[in-house]
Amino acid sequence: MSGDKADAEEKLRKAAAQNSPAQLKKFAKTAEPIIGALDADTARSLHEVMAILTEGAPAGAAESAPRTAKTVEKDASRNAGALKTNGFVGDAVDAHAFRTGMIVPAFEERASPCSSADADARCRRARALEGPFVITNVFASGGCPDELAIFAASNATHPKWMLLAPAKEHLNVAGHFVVEEGDFLYASARTTLDFNKDARCAIVWSGYRPNNP
> CATH number, domain at 204?
2.60.120
- Both 102 and 146 in one domain: the answer is yes
Polymer length in residues for the chain:
213
Name which of 178, 173, 132 is nearest 149 in CA terms.
173
C-alpha closest to that of 196 among 157, 162, 163, 167: 167
Residue 150 has pLDDT above 70, yes or no: yes
Residue 161 sits in the same domain as residue 139:
yes
Task: Give me the pLDDT at residue 35, please.
Answer: 56
Does residue 87 belong to any structural domain of this protein?
A: no
Residue 96, class by beta-carbon neighbours within 10 Å (0-12 exposed, 13-18 middle, 19+ buried)?
Answer: exposed
Residue 161 confidence (pLDDT): 95
Q: Do both 116 and 74 map to the same domain?
A: no
Q: How many domains does the chain have?
A: 2
Is residue 11 one of the residues assigned to a domain? Answer: yes
76 and 100 housed in the same domain = no
Mean pLDDT within 96-120: 80
pLDDT-wise least confident of 85-89, 136-140, 161-165: 85-89
pLDDT surpassing 70 at residue 132: yes
Cα angle vertex 95, ends 92, 99, to 5°?
110
Average pLDDT, the chain: 73
In a domain? residue 149: yes
Residues 98 and 198 occupy one common structural domain: yes
Contact 132, 209 (CB under 8 A): yes
- pLDDT of res. 94: 61
Among 32, 50, 82, the domain boundary falls at 82
Which of 82, 114, 141 is at the close of a domain? 82
Within a domain: 65: yes
Last residue of a domain, one of 82, 102, 135: 82
In a domain, 195, yes or no: yes
Residues 122 and 203 in one domain: yes
- Cα separations (Å) of 81 from 16, 77, 90, 148, 180? 32, 6, 16, 35, 26
Percent of the chain at pLDDT exceeding 90: 31
pLDDT score at 40: 60
Q: How far apart are CA 19 and CA 13, in angstroms?
A: 10
pLDDT in tens, 174-183: 999 999 999 9
- 74 plus 174 within the same structural domain: no
- Give, as one character, the DSSP assignment of residue 78: H
Average pLDDT rounded to a whole number, residues 117-127? 78
Q: Are strands 184-191 and 147-153 parallel, antiparallel or unpaired?
A: antiparallel
More confident call, 7 vs 1: 7
Residues 69 and 103 in one domain: no
pTM beyond 0.85, yes or no:
no
Whether residues 97 and 199 fall in one domain: yes
Are the CB atoms for 188 and 202 separated by under 8 Å? Answer: no
- On whether residue 203 sits in a domain, the answer given is yes
Q: Is residue 99 part of a domain?
A: yes
What pLDDT shows up at residue 75? 46
Residues 102 and 195 in one domain: yes
Q: What is the residue range of 31's domain? A: 5-82
pLDDT, residue 149, reads: 94
